[in-house]
């Protein structure tokens, strides 16, 4: 799995650079997240989108991630029921990447940043790295079916993205299920 080690090595270098940037920023300004990062009272009062994103529920990001990228469910199933130990070791970094990102963004939303689906885009690559790290064992789940399901999940995610790009008045990325009115996360 040479390609996996190349991807994971590049991710480790990227995280080192980002960590150094946060350390320098903190040393200079005394905070990791400056006050100007959060919407002020005037913006909340005058902008309905900002007001709406601040009133979304705590579970918004995990549920929205599943609605937009159902591949998460397939990966969770593969992680729990059908992986080899060596594959789990390889996939641990992308799993930590996605989980820590969701946790930090949810905490930021709770602190007043709000919840915007566009912020989830940084978690998507981790899912695709995990997809190639988690190979299903032939005796647990039929490999062809798992790859077909993965392909269908990716096509569904592509449809969600295409719909967002084709609807010019959309402020937020919504899943097909939300657009059809089957699911609503808005309060």
What pTM was computed for the model? 0.73
The rounded distance, in Å, linking the Cα atoms of 147 and 15 is 30
Phi, psi of 136 (to 5 degrees): -75, 140
Q: Are the CB atoms for 134 and 89 separated by under 8 Å?
A: no
pLDDT value at position 46? Answer: 92
Low-confidence ranges of the chain (pLDDT < 70): 1-8, 82-87, 134-144, 169-170, 187
pLDDT value at position 142? Answer: 59
pLDDT value at position 137? Answer: 53
Q: Are the CB atoms for 128 and 72 separated by under 8 Å?
A: no
Q: Are the CB atoms for 127 and 101 separated by under 8 Å?
A: no
DSSP 55: T
Q: How far is CA 176 from CA 110, 148, 156, 185, in A?
A: 26, 20, 9, 13
Strand partners, 136: 83
Q: List pLDDT tens digits, range 85-122.
A: 546 777 788 888 888 888 988 988 888 888 888 888 88
Q: Are the CB atoms for 65 and 102 separated by under 8 Å?
A: yes
SS3 136: strand
The rounded distance, in Å, linking the Cα atoms of 181 and 163 is 15
């Amino acid at each position: 799995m040479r390609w996996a080690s190349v991807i994971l090595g590049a991710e480790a270098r990227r995280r080192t650079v980002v960590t150094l940037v946060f350390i320098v920023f903190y040393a200079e300004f005394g905070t990791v997240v400056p006050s100007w990062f959060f919407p002020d009272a005037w913006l909340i009062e005058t902008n309905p989108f900002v007001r709406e994103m601040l009133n979304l529920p705590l579970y918004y990001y995990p549920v929205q991630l599943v609605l937009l990228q159902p591949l998460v469910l397939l990966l969770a199933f593969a992680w729990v029921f059908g992986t080899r130990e060596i594959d789990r070791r390889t996939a641990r970094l992308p799993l930590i990447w996605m989980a820590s990102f969701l946790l930090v963004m949810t905490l930021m939303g709770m602190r007043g940043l709000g919840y915007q689906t566009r912020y989830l885009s940084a978690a998507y690559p981790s899912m695709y790295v995990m997809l190639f790290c988690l190979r299903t064992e032939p005796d647990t789940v039929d490999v062809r079916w798992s790859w077909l399901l993965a392909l269908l999940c990716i096509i569904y995610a592509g449809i969600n993205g295409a719909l967002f790009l084709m609807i010019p008045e959309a402020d937020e990325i919504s899943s097909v299920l939300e657009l059809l009115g089957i699911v609503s996360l808005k309060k």
